[in-house]
Amino acid sequence: MALPKLLITLGDVAGIGPEVVAKAWPRLAEYCVRVVVGDSRFLPRDIPCVNPSTADLSGVTPGTVHAAAGRAAYDWLVYAIDECLAGRADGIVTCPLHKEGLHAAGIAFPGHTEILADRTGAASHAMLLYDDDLPLAVAHVTLHRSLRSTFEHISVDSVLDKIRLLNAIVPKLTGTPARVGVAALNPHASDGGLFGNEESEIIAPAVTLAKREGIDASGPIPSDAIFLPHNRVKFNGIVAMYHDQGHIAMKLLGGRRAVNVTAGLPIVRTSVAHGTAYDIVGKNLADESSLISAVRVAARLAGK
């Protein structure tokens, strides 16, 4: 079978995206036909790039927020999305962008996931963190929003939606039927209502509805217990209620192995599970392993 064509977007060029692409470049040929969407002037080795952006990057300083870098990262992502929607590419792997850079460029999206969902028209979507070695995928009911506003966006429908998305994508990632655990929101899953009613009124009903649809789902399970080894092995998918609930656990468990996957899109998209790391730009300290993992997983999904 022919290797899939994957578009690797360079992200914010003031960050470590160019360095990890250059370091990973030889390995990526094992998994895909590689095409970088970005500006080759920022790559420390001779790698051909497609650059559809007209943003002037001449004033970008490594390790600093710059509006032009935010605009270019957005333009490169939009180009990659449109190429996939048109059938000219099989998937996208994104290097990190900087949310302040997007904001400085006047782009009203908090990150990749929201841009992807808007551009592809995906009403139902979720950001996953996935680790091949565990194997485990974690979906987030709420993502890039303040903790204060999180509670307004957790509902029976939103929890059920993420259970369904995991149920659909986990078999493609792991090759096994989905077994979904659903994390509680409150400490000790609220201890019978002592610390809140979200477990009894929102999460448990969502799990019940999922079971009625034939989904293997369990919960709510206290979030300080669901990732412990004796619980974790029961599941290959976990629904977290908010960003840090899932991210902290997965990054502690998998470190640089973790891959960001967007479920529910009509196209394949994976990403590194780290940020722009402005503090280490230019020091040759960036680790390319997450990009290699992201490409490997994207190639697998594209093959499905």
Number of domains in the chain: 2
- Mean pLDDT, the chain, rounded, equals 95
68 and 142 fall within a common domain: no
The model's pLDDT over 127-149, given as tens digits with 9 standing for 90+, comes to 899 999 999 999 999 988 899 99
Strand pairing class (126-131; 259-263): antiparallel
Give the CA count within 13 Å in the CB-facing half-sphere of 154: 30
pLDDT reported for residue 304: 55
DSSP 8-state symbol, 94: E
Same domain, 133 and 112: no
Question: Same domain, yes or no, for 100 and 229?
Answer: no
168 plus 258 within the same structural domain: yes
92 and 35 fall within a common domain: yes
pLDDT of 123: 85
Each residue's pLDDT tens digit, 240-285 = 999 999 999 998 998 778 899 999 999 999 999 899 999 999 999 9
83 and 61 fall within a common domain: yes
Q: Token pair for residue 102?
A: 């997007």
Q: Does residue 189 share a domain with residue 203?
A: yes
- Is residue 106 domain-shared with residue 65, that is, in the same domain? yes
Say yes or no: 69 and 138 in one domain.
Answer: no
Cα separations in angstroms, 301 against 38, 61, 101, 123: 23, 36, 30, 20
Judged against a pLDDT cut of 80, whether residue 113 lies above it is answered with yes
Given phi > 0 = left and psi -120 to 50 = alpha, else beta, which region is 76?
alpha
Same domain, 179 and 235: yes
By residue range, what is the domain housing residue 25? 1-122+265-304
Let me know whether 252 and 133 are in one domain.
yes
Average pLDDT over residues 101-107: 96
Q: What is the CATH number of the domain that holds 206?
A: 3.40.718.10
